[in-house]
Amino acid sequence: MPSGQKLGAPRAIAFRGGGFALQPRRWASWVAFAAVLLLWQAAVGLRILDPIFLPSPLSILLALQHLIATGELWRHLAASLSRIAVGWVIGTAAGLVVGLAMGLSSLARAVGVPLISALFPVPKIALLPLLILWLGIGEPSKWATIALGVFFPTAIATYSGIDGVPVSLVRMAQSFGLPFRAIVAKVVLPGALPNILAGFRISAATALLLVVAAEMIGAETGIGQFVLTEGNLMQTDQLMAGVVVLAILGLLIGAALSALERWALRWR
């Protein structure tokens, strides 16, 4: 700029960045949670809400305490958890095997994809009556329902996880002469693990959903059966206590999976 030219007074450059970067506000979560509970309690106390239809948080807590004291909770919880465990393990094992085959073999992929695409959207609980006809009203039909629900998301997560493993890593392994099985065990499966674990989250939620539904259709124990029975008896505080147990169960399963992910994927 020519030195003789008049520039006038310097002007500040206006700030125009910032925002769009969310900060954690933990206290707000707790305050909001407490406020909802307090409002709920007050609404029932003031008879704005009929406790027959929506019991207060405090009475739900008392019902829960009663459930624990009488040992009823453990009986139902043990029944539900064992069904989830058996069904989930069967479904996961089958899903991993089929997903692995579909990830590695063109033939298995060609056969499997249309079948899985067609069957995945079927609500598995709709098959429970059929499974009861096949396997009886006892545990096996519930295991099978849960296993079916778990199988599909696991198989899909496994083969799509294998698709996501960079071919360059497989070529690297081949260039060092690793045998096929070693490549699967040391490159393909660990590479697919993040996706497989994400699939576990979906399959665990599915298993919880299906165990409750299956127990509502035909069972003598289990949280689902308990919730349904208490509903039929208009014992809404007991019913809600069962729902709270299910919520806690869901949270615990989620936390366990998070811990598993943190450990297994610590290299990320």
Partner 1 sequence: MELIVEGVGHAYGELTVLDGVDLRVGAGEIVALIGPSGCGKSTLLSIVGGLLRPSSGTVSVAGPVPAGSLNPFTFVFQDFALLPWRTVEGNVALALEHHPLAAAERRERIAAALARIGLAEFRAAYPRQLSGGMRQRVGIARALVVRPALLLMDEPLSALDAQTRELLMEEFLALWLGERVAALYVTHNLAEALRLADRIVVLSRRPGRIKSVVPVPIPQRERAAPAAQAALAALHDQLWESIKAEAQVADREVVDA
Identify the CA nearest to 211 among candidates 95, 92, 88: 88
Q: Which stretch binds partner 1 (CB under 8 A): 69-77, 150-158, 185-193, 224-232?
A: 185-193
Total binding residues for partner 1 by CB under 8 A? 20
**Is 190 an interacting residue with respect to partner 1 (CB under 8 A)?**
yes
Total Cβ atoms within 10 A of residue 82 = 15
Write the CA distances from 92 to 87, 88, 184, 197, 259, integer angstroms. Answer: 8, 6, 18, 11, 19
Closest separation between CB of residue 170 and partner 1, Å?
9
Residues 192-231 that bind partner 1 (CB under 8 A): 193
Closest separation between CB of residue 175 and partner 1, Å?
4
Nearer to partner 1, 85 or 170 (CB): 170
- H-helix segments, 57-138: 57-70, 72-104, 106-119, 128-135
Query: Could you tell me which residues come within 8 angstroms of residue 245 by beta carbon, excluding any fewer than 6 positions away?
Result: 64, 67, 73, 77, 223
Closest separation between CB of residue 189 and partner 1, Å?
10
Q: Are 74 and 249 in contact (CB under 8 A)?
A: no
Contact pattern from residue 152 through residue 181 relative to partner 1, giving x for each residue in contact according to CB under 8 A and a dash for the rest: ----------------xx-xxxxxxxxx--
Residues 7-26 that bind partner 1 (CB under 8 A): none
**Is 187 an interacting residue with respect to partner 1 (CB under 8 A)?**
yes
Interface ranges with partner 1 (CB under 8 A): 168-169, 171-179, 182, 186-187, 190-191, 193, 265, 267-268
